[in-house]
């Protein structure tokens, strides 16, 4: 289980290492461009029910800590889904990797 430490107080947000590796790519890209956005997720089953959202801004300190020493092999499709959500008005919605993208109905 990895962790995002966010803000001056170092608020800790636990996120599974593989998901965190994918988020790091998308978040880093957006922040490098000077863009602000939100990151939202549903609470894990071992926590009280609900969801959380962080406002991410380039001026706010951010640190990614991984439990695994070896880098994760990344999925281009998952990064693209996260990046698409990052560019929406709702911000990044952390969804599991196995959630299939919504297929568009072909036009006839």
Burial (CB < 10 A; 0-12, 13-18, 19+), residue 78, is buried
The pTM of the whole model exceeds 0.85 = no
Q: How far is CA 55 from CA 58, 60, 76, 77, in A?
A: 10, 9, 25, 24
Q: Domain coordinates of the chain in residue numbers?
A: 2-93
Per-residue pLDDT of the chain (108 residues; tens, 9 = 90+): 899 998 887 788 888 999 999 999 999 999 999 999 999 888 877 778 888 888 999 999 999 999 999 888 999 999 999 998 888 888 888 888 876 454 444 444
Rg over CA atoms, the chain: 15
Tell me, what's the pLDDT at 85?
87
Among 46, 26, 45, 50, which Cα is nearest to 37's? 26
pLDDT at site 1: 86
3-state SS, residue 92: strand
What pLDDT does 99 receive? 63
> What's the gap between Cα 31 and its chain centre?
13
């Amino acid at each position: 289980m990895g962790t995002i430490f966010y803000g001056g107080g170092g608020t800790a947000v636990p996120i599974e290492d593989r998901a965190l590796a994918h988020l790091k790519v998308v978040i880093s890209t957006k922040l490098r461009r000077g863009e602000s956005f939100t990151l939202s997720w549903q609470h894990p089953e071992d926590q009280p029910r609900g969801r959380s959202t962080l406002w991410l801004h380039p001026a706010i300190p951010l640190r990614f800590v991984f439990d695994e020493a070896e880098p994760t092999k990344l999925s281009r499709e998952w990064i693209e889904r996260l990046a698409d959500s990052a560019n929406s008005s709702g911000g990044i919605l952390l969804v599991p990797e196995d959630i299939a993208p919504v297929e568009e109905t072909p036009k006839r």
